[in-house]
A and B are shown apart, each in its own frame.
Chain A
Amino acid sequence: DAGVIQSPRHEVTEMGQEVTLRCKPISGHNSLFWYRQTMMRGLELLIYFNNNVPIDDSGMPEDRFSAKMPNASFSTLKIQPSEPRDSAVYFCASSKGGTSGSTWDIQYFGAGTRLSVL
């Protein structure tokens, strides 16, 4: 398996532009997570999907952020309009899901998308 695939790896955009980050989870995984990592705030969970359904989006900063998972093999995180404070590395991760307390909780991370908003 190729692992979790994220695209693009790097994105540089200007303030006010729309940004779309993409993620392909590991085949057979039922849970998908979007994280944001910055030096100041560390690793933050933005949103979590289980079986393509958003379960917890309490970490989404504001209405400018939206995420979708139209099928089991694809998810997007969109920022519209983007702002300089959105500059960060965005990670997608997936796990098998299932009964908590098992190895199905292990998350597999993509290589991340480094976003710079000028």
Chain B
Amino acid sequence: SQQGEEDPQALSIQEGENATMNCSYKTSINNLQWYRQNSGRGLVHLILIRSNEREKHSGRLRVTLDTSKKSSSLLITASRAADTASYFCATDSLNNAGNMLTFGGGTRLMVKP
């Protein structure tokens, strides 16, 4: 089964609104990352949050991490049509002998102009 599970699977909002996506995982982690995938493209790294951090910001992105609940959220503020994409969380694992990441199923975000 997947380490990370995103919720919701799909989200449709109007331009200017905020978009919130959630990720749950199962095992203890060193860090959690969020990636974005535009249609027909590869995944692009957005932000990394370490297990000892609770919140991180990057431009219009805000990520939170709650290790006690094994969950993370990605907030995109003031969304734009160009934010339309799929968003994936990815976790490593404390038991991971290498640098492998486990990706969730993704949230498909549509931002309507």
B92 and A111 contact, CB distance less than 8 A: no
Q: B43 touching A106 by the CB < 8 A rule?
A: no
Task: Determine if A33 and B100 form an interchain contact, defined as CB atoms under 8 angstroms apart.
Answer: yes
In the complex, chain B residues whose CB is within 8 Å of the CB of A97: 98-99
Chain A 85-118: CB-based contact to B (< 8 A → 1; otherwise 0): 0000001010101101101111111111000000
A61 at the interface (CB under 8 A from B): no
A45 at the interface (CB under 8 A from B): yes
A12 at the interface (CB under 8 A from B): no
How extensive is the interface on chain B, given as a class?
20 to 34
Structural contact, B48 and A106, CB atoms closer than 8 A:
yes
Q: How large is the interface on A (under 10, 10 to 19, 20 to 34, 35 or more residues)?
A: 20 to 34
The answer to whether A100 touches B92 (Cβ under 8 A) is: yes
**Across the interface, do B98 and A101 meet the contact criterion of CB distance under 8 Å?**
no
A42 near B: Cβ within 8 Å? yes
User: With contacts A42-B106, A111-B42 known, is A104 near B100, CB below 8 A?
Assistant: no
Does B88 belong to the interface (CB within 8 Å)? yes
B18 within 8 Å of A (CB atoms): no
Task: For the complex, give the distance between the alpha carbons of A45 and B90 in Å.
Answer: 12
* B12 at interface by CB-CB < 8 Å: no
B30 to chain A: which residues have CB within 8 Å? 100-101, 105
Q: Tell me, yes or no, whether A56 is within 8 Å of chain B by CB.
A: yes
Chain A residues 1 to 25 lying within 8 A of chain B, measured CB to CB, are: 4
Q: Which 6 A-B pairs have the closest CB atoms?
A: A109-B42, A101-B30, A43-B103, A109-B43, A42-B105, A31-B99
Q: What is B's interface to A at a CB cutoff of 8 Å?
A: 2, 30-31, 33, 41-45, 48, 50-51, 88, 90, 92, 96-106
Residues of A within 8 A of B (CB): 4, 31, 33, 42-43, 45, 48, 50, 55-56, 91, 93, 95, 97-98, 100-101, 103-112
Known A55-B97, A100-B30, A108-B45; further 8 A-B contacts with Cβ < 8 A = A4-B42, A43-B43, A43-B106, A98-B99, A100-B98, A101-B51, A105-B33, A110-B42
